[in-house]
Amino acid sequence: MTPTPSEPALNHIRHILTRDIEAVGKEVQATPDADLWRTLPGIHNSVGTIAVHLCGNLRHFVGQEIGGDGYQRQRAAEFSGEPLPREELMAEIGRTRNAVDGVLAHLDPERLGEPMSNPPPHHAGRSIGFFLMQLSCHLSRHTGQANYLRRMLAAQA
């Protein structure tokens, strides 16, 4: 069977998303317990909060909206700053990686051109393919924030 032009793109985005979810886990693991839920003046979200938000975002849009896996997002809780034990946070990162990998491994590449269901209003009418790229950019941007905050907190120690 000859791959469709969309199949390599889907495999690439699957690789990037799962790789970058693992990078979030590495940031969480590299952050000392005392700093995981801490911020600095002018910074609203801790490394832990960023990780919780990224998991909720990906599980909602990839797991539920694209894959229909039944995940129920609680976006407000993502930003509550309520500390989770590191092990629980790492387990959620693992579940997120598995959900994203599983959905994208079984996604028909022909669906990349379909409209994304229930996107935020500013992405209304965008395709699943576009939205997966957007999710990758969102993940990368926030992972960089977590990395920088972790290093800033370490420099204060």
Q: Provide the pLDDT for residue 89.
A: 98
pLDDT of 14 higher than 80: yes
What was the pLDDT predicted at 5? 56
pLDDT score at 1: 47
Question: Dihedral angle at the C-alpha atoms of 42, 45, 48, 51, nearest 10 degrees?
Answer: -130
Query: In the CATH scheme, what is the code of domain 7-156?
Result: 1.20.120.450
Alpha helices, DSSP H, located in the chain: 6-30, 47-58, 75-78, 86-106, 128-156
Using CB atoms within 10 A of its CB, is residue 127 exposed (0-12), middle (13-18) or buried (19+)?
A: middle
Q: Residue 41 to residues 29, 46, 149: CA-CA distances in angstroms? A: 23, 11, 11
pLDDT digits (tens, 9 = 90+) for 91-136: 999 999 999 999 999 999 999 999 999 999 999 999 999 999 999 9
Q: How do residues 42-92 score in pLDDT, each as one tens digit?
A: 999 999 999 999 999 999 999 999 999 999 999 999 999 889 999 999 999
Burial class (CB in 10 A: 0-12, 13-18, 19+), 52: buried
When pLDDT is cut at 50, 70 and 90, the band that residue 7 belongs to is confident
**Residues with Cβ within 8 Å of residue 7, at least 6 apart in sequence:** 109
Rounded to whole angstroms, how far apart are CA atoms 22 and 19? 5
Q: Domain extents for the chain?
A: 7-156
Q: Is 24 helix (H, G, I), strand (E, B) or coil?
A: helix
More confident call, 157 vs 139: 139
